[in-house]
Structure 1
Amino acid sequence: MTFTVAIVGRPNVGKSTLFNRLVGKKLALVDDTPGVTRDRRPGDAKLVDLRFRIIDTAGLEVAAPDTLEGRMRAQTELAIEEADLSLFVVDAKMGLTPVDQMLAEMLRKKGKPVVLVANKAEARGSDGGFYDAFTLGLGEPCPISAEHGQGMIDLRDAIVAAIGEEKAFPEPEDEAETDVVLAPTDGEDEEEELPYDDSKPLRVAIVGRPNAGKSTLINRFLGEDRLLTGPEAGITRDSISVEWDWRGRTIKMFDTAGMRRKAKVVEKLEKLSVADTLRAIRFAETVVIVFDATIPFEKQDLQIVDLVLREGRAAVLAFNKWDLVEEPQQVLADLREKNERLLPQARGIRAVPISGQTGYGLEKLMQNIIDTDRVWNKRISTARLNRWLEGVQVQHPPPAVSGRRLKLKYMTQVKARPPAFMISCTRPDAVPEHYLRYLTNGLRLDFDMPGVPIRIHLRATENPFEHKKKKR
Structure 2
Amino acid sequence: EYKKRLSALSENGRGMNTTTSSGLAVVHIINKCDHMAEWDEEEWDELNKKHIIKGFGKPFAISAEHSIGFNPMRNLIEALNFRSQKLKSMEDGLIRMAIVGRANVGKSTLFNQLIGENRVLVSETPGTSRDSIELFAEFRSNPGTEDEEIRRVLLVDTAGLRKNKDLKHDHIEQEANQEAMRAMRYANVVVIVVDASEGLQRKDMNILRTLEKHGRSVVLALNKWDMVKDPARTAQQFEDTIDKTMKVLAGLPMVVLSAKHATNVPMLMEKVVESYDRWNTKVPITKLNQFLKQFLASRTHVPSSWPTIKYITQIATRPPTFALFFKGASVLPEAFEKQIRNALREEFDLHGLPIRIKARRYEPQQE
- Answer whether TM exceeds 0.5 for this pair: yes
Question: 1:204 aligns to what SS in structure 2?
Answer: strand
Cα offset, 1:229, TM superposition: 1.3
Q: Does 1:254 align with 2:165?
A: no
Does structure 1 residue 218 correspond to structure 2 residue 95?
A: no
Distance, in Å, in 1 between the alignment partners of 2:164 and 2:329 is 36
1:303 to 196, 206, 212: 206
- 1:287-315 deviations in whole A, cap 9, x for unaligned? 00001011111111111111111111100
Counterpart of 1:119 in structure 2 is none
- Which residue number in structure 1 is paired with residue 332 of structure 2? 431
Q: Superposition RMSD on alpha carbons, in Å?
A: 2.5
Distance 1:199 1:460 in 2: 37
Which of the pair has more CA radius of gyration?
1
Distance (whole Å) between structure 1 residues aligned to residue 264 and residue 330 of structure 2? 46
Give the structure with the larger helix fraction.
2
Aligned equivalents of 1:333, 1:405: Cα separation in 2: 37
Distance change (3 Å), C-alpha of 1:226 and 1:424: same
User: Are 1:358 and 2:261 an aligned pair?
Assistant: yes
> Which of 1 and 2 has higher RCO (CA within 8 Å, sep 6+)?
2
SS at 2:339 equivalent:
helix
Conserved? CA contact 1:317–1:350, under 8 Å: yes
Distance 2:324 2:241 in 1: 33
Matched residue, 1:374: 277
Mapped contact 2:99–2:192 kept (Cα < 8 A): yes
Output one character per residue of 1:318-371: Cα deviation in whole Å (capped at 9) or x when no partner.
001112223323322333333323332201110011111010010111111111
> Residues 383-426 of structure 1: CA distance to partner in whole angstroms, max 9, x if unpaired?
211221122112126954xx544111011100111100001111
Distance in 1 between residues matched to 2:338 and 2:306, nearest whole Å: 18
Task: Report the counterpart of residue 238 of structure 1 in structure 2.
Answer: 131
1:265 equivalent to 2:158? Answer no
Residue correspondence of structure 1 range 171-190 to structure 2 within 5 A: none
AA at the equivalent of 1:204 = M
Amino acid of the residue matched to residue 459 of structure 1? R
CA distance in 2, matches of 1:462, 1:398: 26
Change (3 A) 1:399 1:209: same
1:199–1:249 contact (8 Å) kept in structure 2: no
Whichever residue aligns with residue 253 of structure 1, its letter is L
**For 1:445 and 1:405, how far apart are their aligned partners in 2?**
23
The amino acid of 2:344's aligned partner reads L
* Amino acid in structure 1 at the alignment position of 2:178: A
Q: Which of 285, 308, 315 in structure 2 is aligned with 1:407?
A: 308
Distance 2:178 2:351 in 1: 29
State how far apart, in whole Å, the 2-side matches of 1:347 and 1:240 are.
30
User: What one-letter code is carried by the residue in structure 2 that aligns with 1:446?
Assistant: E
Q: Provide the rounded CA distance (Å) in 1 between the counterparts of 2:179 and 2:276.
A: 23
Summarize the Cα distance change of 1:420–1:235 in structure 2 as closer, same or farther, 3 Å threshold. same
Rounded to whole Å, the distance in 2 between the matches of 1:369 and 1:226 is 22
Q: Is the 8 A contact 1:354 1:360 kept in 2?
A: yes
Aligned match for 1:349, one of 252, 261, 272: 252
Where does residue 226 of structure 2 map in the other structure? 323
SS in 2 for 1:304: helix
**C-alpha contact 1:398 1:407 (8 A) present in aligned 2:** no
Structure 1 distance, partners of 2:306, 2:228, is 54
Residue 199 and residue 367 in structure 1: after superposition, are their counterparts in 2 closer, same or farther (change >3 A)? farther
**Contact 1:198/1:249 (<8 A) preserved:** no
Query: What does the per-residue CA deviation read over 1:118-173, in whole Å, with 9 as the maximum and x for residues that have no partner?
Result: xxxxx9xxxxxxxxxxxxxxxxxxxxxxxxxxxxxxxxxxxxxxxxxxxxxxxxxx
The reply on whether 1:445 has 2:346 as its aligned counterpart is yes
Question: What is the letter of the counterpart of residue 350 of structure 1?
Answer: P
Deviation at 1:265, TM superposition (A): 2.8
Determine what percentage of the aligned residue pairs are the same residue: 31
Question: In the alignment, which residue of structure 2 is the partner of 1:458?
Answer: 359
Contact 1:428 1:458 in 2 (8 A): no
| CA displacement, residues 20-64 of structure 1 (integer Å, 9 cap, x when unaligned) | xxxx99xxxxxxxxxxxxxxxxxxxxxxxxxxxxxxxxxxxxxxx
SS at 1:318's partner residue?
strand
How far apart in 2 are the matches of 1:274 and 1:390?
Answer: 47
Q: How far did residue 242 of structure 1 move? A: 1.3
Structure 2: stretches of 5+ with no match in the other structure: 1-24, 27-64, 66-89, 141-149
Q: Relative to 1, partners in 2 of residues 1:199 and 1:463: Cα closer, same or farther, differing over 3 Å?
A: closer
Answer with 410-419 or 253-262: which moved more: 253-262
What secondary structure is seen at the aligned counterpart in 2 of 1:229?
A: coil
Cα distance in 2 for residues equivalent to 1:222 and 1:198:
24
Q: Secondary structure at the match of 1:425?
A: strand
* Alpha-carbon distance in 2 for matches of 1:240, 1:316: 19
Residues 398 and 406 of structure 1 are in contact (CA less than 8 Å); yes or no, is this contact kept in structure 2?
no
* Mapped contact 1:244–1:251 kept (Cα < 8 A): yes
Distance in 2, Cα, partners of 1:286 & 1:295: 24
Aligned mates of 1:408, 1:293 — CA distance in 2: 44
